[in-house]
Structure 1
Amino acid sequence: MAAPTAPTPLNIVIVGAGIGGLSAAIFFRQQGHNITVLEQSRFANEVGAAVHIAPNAAGLVSRMGIDAPATGAVECLTMKNVKPNGETMFEVPVWRSRGRWQHPWLLAHRIDLHSELKRGAIREDGVGRPATLQTAARVERVTTDGVVVLASGEEIRADVVIGADGVHSKTRYALPGSEGIRPFGSGKSAFRFTMPRSRALEDPVTKPLVGAEGQMTLYMGRDRRVVIYPTRHNEILNFVCIHSTKDSEISSDDPDSGDWQNTGHLDKLLEVYKDFDPALLALLGKASEDTLKVWELLDMEQLPTWTEDRLALIGDAAHPFTPHQGQGAGQAIEDAASLACVLPLGTPPSEIPARLKLYEKCRYERASMIQEYSRIVGMDLGTGPPFDGLKYTNDNFGHDEWHHTQQKLREWEWSRNPTAYRRMPVAFGPFPGPRQDCTGNARDWSASTFTTASIKFRTSRTLLEGLFPNKAFRFAVSDTNCYATFSVSSLGNLEWLGGNGYSHLGLYIHGVEYTKNNGETVEGDYLPVLFEDLADPIISGREEIGMPKVYSRLDVAKTTDSLTVTAGWMGSDFLNLSLTQLQSSEAQTDAASPASSDENLFFYKYIPATAAHGEEQRSADVEYACISPMDEKVNAMKKVERRTIAQKAEIRIEALDARKLPTLHHIVERLAEIPIYEVVEAKIVEGTGGSDLKAARRLE
């Protein structure tokens, strides 16, 4: 037998080596793919500012193998809101919410996080192949069928192209419907800078403002605000000073107004916040102009789609964020995780477009919702809709994108085979069983084995009529004599049971006729009960097909001269069959059915409605007659290798009470009443193959 072929990795090109692009490189590396990252700058480095890693992103950062606190990220412990005059409005002890979220709310230095992401993507050790990082690789254009064209003229072909090239994305405009959509100024701009926390602590005027470790402070004016928080082991303070663009030193008419590297000037910063608390102004005045930057906060209309064919966008290329929720980097990381999740190792290239659409489905609504939250939070005080801070926090923090996308991927895979069997517990998807595996593929019965022993006997038609579930069933003739068979089969080497097997024993009543509502009649054998000694076939047979299966211990012993069967429950034996004085036979009797001819098999499916204890019994949720055709195709699935006739056969059934058979006594008592007037045939048939009864259906 040939060894299984190893899954083929995809060749993935990521345009942009920012936080989103490098996160995607790590996640795809962990999935086992080949990754090339194209970065237009020479050093592929982030700017010197800080970034939020909220709980929803912190778990994904950890999943990438990055220990953010070890690299200097600070846990946010308190959040303090302050009026412009320095009066505290409220203080939220964030640390008390630790138990709500799986992961901490971290405040990281952007350079530290970016460096760790780059290391994780390209390091030689670790899971998967290192990504190839090409710097100074300016992308001229991409196509939706997997072609990336560099400014140098070089063409790179890939199975998947990921646009992670930020708010000024070029990859974005390869998507249909994106042509007229451009980033625009949100009406707000921001100064940003960092400074050593020690600089503020040394001054008694500014020390009270930054004395608490892990504290985020928001000074909230009507149309401007200042956000201060620590990072890098509480040694660096990060400042973001958001204000109206009309009051800023940059103009929205400037095509470079959204560039993070625009130099800011201290005198303009102090002018914008001149009416704020003098202590805050003293703190802002400690900024170094060589680190002070100013840029316009950009926004963008929603793209109609983030994916087309083999191209997908992530992060700001797909959905630029204003910074008011601190979720820009987090949502880019979520995008990267989701995209990698839908493209595991072994993904067929033909499925890539559909899987990219699944990624979009997983992410579009959530990212768009948080985008809108950020816009609302950034509105001037008194101008926006009512603000529900708890809902925003819950929506932001209370999410794990990897687990979310995993589930959506499962549901997508389940939906691709609508004929796959579903049964309880339904949350786990299609159920593996004798007819299919969990992906809906048919089982192979060719190597299975069977040994079927049957005793056919003459008995009372009038008594057996009492075992029919309704008047649609009757005997085809009016004779007082009728025939039935007790048949036991031992099955082995079953693929669906991992090469194991089980036994079943049933009563088959011959010569039965079913009359449909339209008057048409169908003839066959009726199966009132089937004992089995394994839960798996009992459950699948009852739920998927509707067969009347119950549990019993079945001990089958065969020698060269005899075969005996004992049925029991928890130490109490109630049925014994024996076939003795065995002789080989060349007769061409059929092995597919215990019946004397190729008859259909009838049974009756009944599932009661759920009712509270003590309530009157409700009507059934399911109740109808079923048929399993025993035609030539079904019989051909079995290959008979040996036939044996028994010269002597015996059936003994003992009606035990409810103490010994608490769940079966009502069945066994009825079986014990059946008279055995004459054994007319006793045989054993052995062979390979089997029928999964997939053709079973409702009679009408």
Structure 2
Amino acid sequence: MTLKELNSHGQNGLHVLIVGAGIGGLVAAIALRQQGHRVETNEVVTDREQLFERSRFANEIGAAIHLSPNCNGVLQRLGIDATKFGAVETEMIQLREYTPAGETVHITMIKEHATMWRHRWLLVHRANFHEGLKTAALAEGRGQPAQLHTSSKVVDIDPHGATVTLDNGEVIESDVVLGADGVHSLARSKLAQPSPITPFSSGQNAFRFLISRQEALDDPETKSIAEDFGSVDMWDADDRRVVIYPCSHNQLLNFVCIHPDSMTHIDASGDSYNQQIGKDALLEVFKDFNPQVRKLLKKADPQTLKLWPLLDMNTLPTWVEDRLAVLGDAAHPFLPYRGSGGAMAVEDAVSLAMMLPAGVERHEVPERLQVYEQARHQRATTIQEMTRESSKILDLGRALQMITYIYGHDEFDHSAQVLRKYLWAKNPDVYWRQPIVFGPMPGPRQDVWGRNRAVPSLQSTFTTASLKFKTSRTLLQNLFPSDAYSFISPSTVARASFSQTTLSGMDWLGGGGYRHLGLYIHGVQYTKANGEVLKGTYMPILFENLADPIVSGREELGMPKLYTAIDVHQRKGSYRVQTSWQGAVWGHLELEDLQEEGPGSDQGTIGGEADDGILVHRYMPQVGRESKGKPEAEYPVFVPHAKESKVVPSRVTRLRRTKKAKVEIDGLDWDALPTLHHVISRLGEIPMDEIVDAKVVEGEGVPDVSSAVRIE
């Protein structure tokens, strides 16, 4: 069942108040308006969120921000293209690390790692980014525009009544209040805590400023630093660090100069994020760095040079109090490492919108906010600790481990899965049947809501059409039945195949045959309790068009099989597959302009992927209505290719390939696909970033899968 259908019991949107209009607040506004939420103000009813702006970015001059792949990916899904307001890609590109004296320590070619991420890594001026988000929140488009109140200071918040009080005495009521009011958050003080948790100095401050790239290029002493677009340069000492990277269409260079807070002074009575400071202080702190760096620092404009405290904070025990939730720096301020502060605020905002979709009702808000915390708290806290660790010089292996965890994530897919599990758990009476990764499934004695109703041959041949593609690892991980299954590679670019096979001349079917179509996820490993690892291709679903192999495959082999009609139209240069259920067409697989290749160039493996075998997950419910679908048996199964090939050897007789192929999937609805919709709708969510291989393989010899074994 899709999330939309699981939440379909409500009609009207919520009235959402967002305190703070920085990055997190504006992204939350964009995501929530797209979910159809609304605001009610006094006697006037409008379909808008209400934001109370106290943003330090509104008039900001001297800072830039990383939009790491995990951040840029979710922004794009919201329809936000940061390149339209000056973001530039880390193109080449390289991270150049030096000693303070200017000696090269390490050069990392970022572009070499770019294939690990589904989305680009961008660098953008904070002020431009903030203005772009504001425009997206207030402009006409999907959902009603947000309403932005400037100069509206919030002096009190009631988490239980979901109200905010302004300094003019006005009290505004709502269904939910979101505190996106930064590190010195008022909203955070309204959370239940054993003792107040407040930010404190990390022991470091940072100078920050921008200069034009051209100014650096015009100076022979600094030209070499500025001439490579997209490069990030870093001079690292034990207690000081200078970082330079581009933004604003590569026309500006952003400087972050980190140092002990004992060397500079923050005026606690002023705006700690925009404190002016003299250039002499900057040059004094970095007086021991090499002449080229000092020459660049001298180019800082005294009018835009700012001093920035690097604040830290102990972990909040909770981010939620009744109908109030905090996000971004209000929940978890970050040190400026790994480009994570803004990215985590964006992820928080997206997660909140996922937990508060169209149709959610007012009384559900407190629990939904708890689900948001469940989705986000551990990840944000883990990355907080990683940024603290990153303030020290790390070995390359540990650094790669961190960036894999941080950037290899899609919060849309992650939060969607957390919400699904929450909604599934709300109805303990539904039956869980094979394949369980798609959610609970209705059966002969239950409706979709879980309510009870009234009473091997060597002469066999195969033709397999397969399409292999790159896609989202995060999304595919949601189809793993347990944490014992994982991807072998740390890359977020996963590979999978849709593969359809027609079998003929089957002895056990009286010489007849049948067809099947499955999803195969490549590069997966299963880690047993004893630490032993099996590597293979994981198959979460296999559709077949004949009842007998479905039943025997489920019962004898533990295969995740379901029925669908599979029609094949094969011509001289094309192979087309149409899948349906009693006339309701849900899928098409098409390969056109097929070209002959020598059969010896292919071994007939699924999607052309060489692995040790097929991994599946067996799940069989207990008998009896009282069991409510609890498992009678649940364990992993492995089908080793080596043993299968000895039982019935297969021989490829013909191979055709093409670059012109596609798969189209339409989940339809429960009326059209009453027994399949929960699976088909999820398959339709799988993105196809790039087609890797498409082919039709014909051959002789069909193994009987008798080598399938229980793993543990």
Aligned-partner Cα distance in 2 for 1:173–1:535: 61
The reply on whether 1:214 has 2:230 as its aligned counterpart is yes
Aligned-partner Cα distance in 2 for 1:264–1:241: 13
The reply on whether 1:22 has 2:16 as its aligned counterpart is no
What are the superposed Cα offsets for residues 35-94 of structure 1, whole Å, 9 maximum, x if unpaired? 111113699455541001000100011112111123211111211111101111111111
Aligned-partner Cα distance in 1 for 2:274–2:194: 27
Residues 312-323 of structure 1 aligned to structure 2 (within 5 Å)? 312-323=325-336
What are the superposed Cα offsets for residues 435-455 of structure 1, whole Å, 9 maximum, x if unpaired? 33444244589xxxxxxxxxx
Aligned-partner Cα distance in 2 for 1:608–1:180: 46
Q: Aligned-pair distance for 1:279?
A: 0.8
Aligned-partner Cα distance in 2 for 1:329–1:189: 18
2:182 to 166, 185, 192: 166
Q: Which amino acid aligns with 2:379?
A: R
Aligned-partner Cα distance in 2 for 1:289–1:15: 33
Q: Which amino acid aligns with 2:145?
A: P
The reply on whether 1:66 has 2:80 as its aligned counterpart is yes
Q: Equivalent residue for 2:347? A: 334
What are the superposed Cα offsets for residues 236-272 of structure 1, whole Å, 9 maximum, x if unpaired? 0000000001112x14xx4247711100211110010
Per the alignment, do residues 612 and 340 of structure 1 end up closer, same or farther by CA in structure 2, a change over 3 Å counting?
closer
Q: Equivalent residue for 1:295? A: 308
Q: Equivalent residue for 2:144? A: 129
Q: Which amino acid aligns with 2:150?
A: T
Q: Equivalent residue for 1:96? A: 112
Q: Aligned-pair distance for 1:31?
A: 0.7
| Partner SS state of residue 275, structure 2 | coil
What are the superposed Cα offsets for residues 371-396 of structure 1, whole Å, 9 maximum, x if unpaired? 111111114x5xx8997101111011
Aligned-partner Cα distance in 2 for 1:140–1:101: 43
| Partner SS state of residue 7, structure 1 | coil
Q: Equivalent residue for 2:282? A: 269
1:108 to 124, 133, 148: 124
What are the superposed Cα offsets for residues 326-365 of structure 1, whole Å, 9 maximum, x if unpaired? 2100000000000110110110222111111110011001
What are the superposed Cα offsets for residues 250-307 of structure 1, whole Å, 9 maximum, x if unpaired? 14xx424771110021111001000101011001101110110002211111111000
Per the alignment, do residues 424 and 286 of structure 1 end up closer, same or farther by CA in structure 2, a change over 3 Å counting?
same
Contact kept, 8 Å, 2:58 with 2:127, in 1: the verdict is no
Q: Equivalent residue for 1:657? A: none
Q: Which amino acid aligns with 1:9?
A: G
Q: Percent identity?
A: 47
Q: Equivalent residue for 2:647? A: none
Aligned-partner Cα distance in 2 for 1:73–1:36: 28
Q: Equivalent residue for 2:440? A: 430
Aligned-partner Cα distance in 2 for 1:365–1:611: 33
Residues 503-652 of structure 1 aligned to structure 2 (within 5 Å)? none
Q: Which amino acid aligns with 2:158?
A: T
Aligned-partner Cα distance in 1 for 2:633–2:194: 54
Aligned-partner Cα distance in 2 for 1:27–1:159: 17
Aligned-partner Cα distance in 2 for 1:276–1:138: 43
Residues 134-145 of structure 1 aligned to structure 2 (within 5 Å)? 134-145=149-160
Aligned-partner Cα distance in 2 for 1:299–1:438: 48
1:32 to 26, 36, 39: 36
Contact kept, 8 Å, 2:221 with 2:292, in 1: the verdict is yes
Q: Equivalent residue for 1:388? A: 398
Aligned-partner Cα distance in 2 for 1:341–1:608: 31
| Partner SS state of residue 96, structure 2 | strand
1:360 to 366, 373, 376: 373
Aligned-partner Cα distance in 1 for 2:176–2:15: 7
Q: Which amino acid aligns with 1:26?
A: I
Q: Which amino acid aligns with 1:323?
A: P
The reply on whether 1:75 has 2:85 as its aligned counterpart is no
Aligned-partner Cα distance in 1 for 2:270–2:51: 27
What are the superposed Cα offsets for residues 391-423 of structure 1, whole Å, 9 maximum, x if unpaired? 111011100011000011111111111221111
Aligned-partner Cα distance in 2 for 1:360–1:218: 35
| Partner SS state of residue 429, structure 2 | coil
**TM-score, normalised via structure 1 length:** 0.62
Residues 659-678 of structure 1 aligned to structure 2 (within 5 Å)? none
* CA radius of gyration, larger in: 1
Q: Aligned-pair distance for 1:324?
A: 1.8
Q: Which amino acid aligns with 1:394?
A: T
Aligned-partner Cα distance in 1 for 2:22–2:632: 60
| Partner SS state of residue 105, structure 2 | strand
Q: Equivalent residue for 1:50? A: 64
Q: Equivalent residue for 2:192? A: 176
Aligned-partner Cα distance in 2 for 1:338–1:15: 17
**TM-score, normalised via structure 2 length:** 0.61
Q: Which amino acid aligns with 2:143?
A: G
| Partner SS state of residue 430, structure 1 | coil
The reply on whether 1:311 has 2:321 as its aligned counterpart is no
Q: Equivalent residue for 2:12? A: 8
Residues 242-281 of structure 1 aligned to structure 2 (within 5 Å)? 242-248=258-264, 250-251=265-266, 254-256=267-269, 259-281=272-294
Contact kept, 8 Å, 2:216 with 2:222, in 1: the verdict is yes
Q: Equivalent residue for 2:204? A: 188
Q: Which amino acid aligns with 1:108?
A: V
What are the superposed Cα offsets for residues 545-577 of structure 1, whole Å, 9 maximum, x if unpaired? xxxxx99x9xxxxxxxxxxxxxxxxxxxxxxxx
Q: Equivalent residue for 1:372? A: 385
The reply on whether 1:419 has 2:432 as its aligned counterpart is no
2:240 to 210, 213, 224: 224
Q: Which amino acid aligns with 1:420?
A: V
| Partner SS state of residue 325, structure 1 | coil
Per the alignment, do residues 374 and 309 of structure 1 end up closer, same or farther by CA in structure 2, a change over 3 Å counting?
same
Contact kept, 8 Å, 2:22 with 2:57, in 1: the verdict is no
What are the superposed Cα offsets for residues 87-137 of structure 1, whole Å, 9 maximum, x if unpaired? 11111111112211010111011111111111111102x111111111111
Higher RCO (Cα < 8 Å, 6 or more apart): 2
Q: Which amino acid aligns with 1:281?
A: R
Aligned-partner Cα distance in 2 for 1:161–1:296: 28
The reply on whether 1:397 has 2:422 as its aligned counterpart is no
Aligned-partner Cα distance in 1 for 2:634–2:204: 64
Aligned-partner Cα distance in 2 for 1:273–1:119: 39
| Partner SS state of residue 76, structure 2 | helix
Aligned-partner Cα distance in 1 for 2:279–2:76: 38
Alignment coverage as a number of residue pairs: 462
Q: Equivalent residue for 2:169? A: 153
Aligned-partner Cα distance in 2 for 1:117–1:411: 31
Aligned-partner Cα distance in 2 for 1:326–1:606: 47
Contact kept, 8 Å, 1:190 with 1:242, in 2: the verdict is yes
**Structure 1 stretches of at least 4 aligned residues deviating more than 4 Å after TM superposition:** 41-47, 384-387, 442-445, 533-536, 605-615
Per the alignment, do residues 79 and 385 of structure 1 end up closer, same or farther by CA in structure 2, a change over 3 Å counting?
closer
Aligned-partner Cα distance in 2 for 1:5–1:362: 23
- What's the Cα RMSD here? 3.2
